[in-house]
Amino acid sequence: MPKIGILSDTHGSLPDSVSDFFAGCDEIWHAGDVGNRTVLEQLASIANVRAVHGNIDGQDVRHVANDHTFFICGGKRVLMKHIGGRPGAYTPETREQIRSLRPDIFVCGHSHILLIKFNKKDNLLHINPGAAGSSGFHKMITLLRFQINEGNISAMELWEKPRKQAT
């Protein structure tokens, strides 16, 4: 029963509460715009990290994080990339990846807008965790965590704080 922490768009900074919220997680998934490798190192001190790079990431992050990743966790097929769109408005590349890989869970970032939605058309759970960093237009800093229990996603939890007060 893996416990997963998920975040995106840190842009080089993590909220102080990240280690408390992700304590006990087996994995942390970062959906891009990491900002620097220090963020990945901080997350790796909490749990195993799977990450993709985003459009603002330099070579230091791109060296250790691909454009997209596809893996199986807790019996669920997961596709993660930074720029993917949203249900009904996926990028052409994302539509093709969803068609060919048939993920159960699709994780993306980029928009800084939290969205968790079951996509009936593609039979997948779409997760955009919003933005966890202090840079950007978003008003709230958000983190997610959930469990995969016998192939079912459960215990989805949201941590959020106003961007100016995210500690």
Output the average pLDDT for the chain: 96
Instruction: Domain count for the chain, please give it.
Output: 1
Is residue 150 classed as helix, strand or coil in its secondary structure? coil
pLDDT band, residue 150 (cuts 50/70/90)? confident
Structural domain containing residue 123: 3-165
Closest CA to 161 of 39, 14, 5, 15: 15
* CATH code: domain of residue 44: 3.60.21.10
At 137 the pLDDT is: 84
pTM for this one?
0.95
| 108-136 burial: b if 16+ Cβ within 10 Å, else e | bbbbbbbebeeeeebebbbbbbbbbbbbe
What is the torsional sign of CA 91, 121, 112, 51?
negative
Predicted confidence at residue 81, as pLDDT, reads 99
> What confidence tens digit (pLDDT) does each residue in 118-134 have?
999 999 999 999 999 98
* Segment 77-100 mean pLDDT: 98
Instruction: Categorize the per-residue pLDDT at 166 as very low, low, confident or very high, splitting at 50, 70 and 90.
Output: very low
pLDDT at 167 over 70: no
The candidate with the shortest Cα–Cα distance to 81, out of 93, 72, 73, is 93
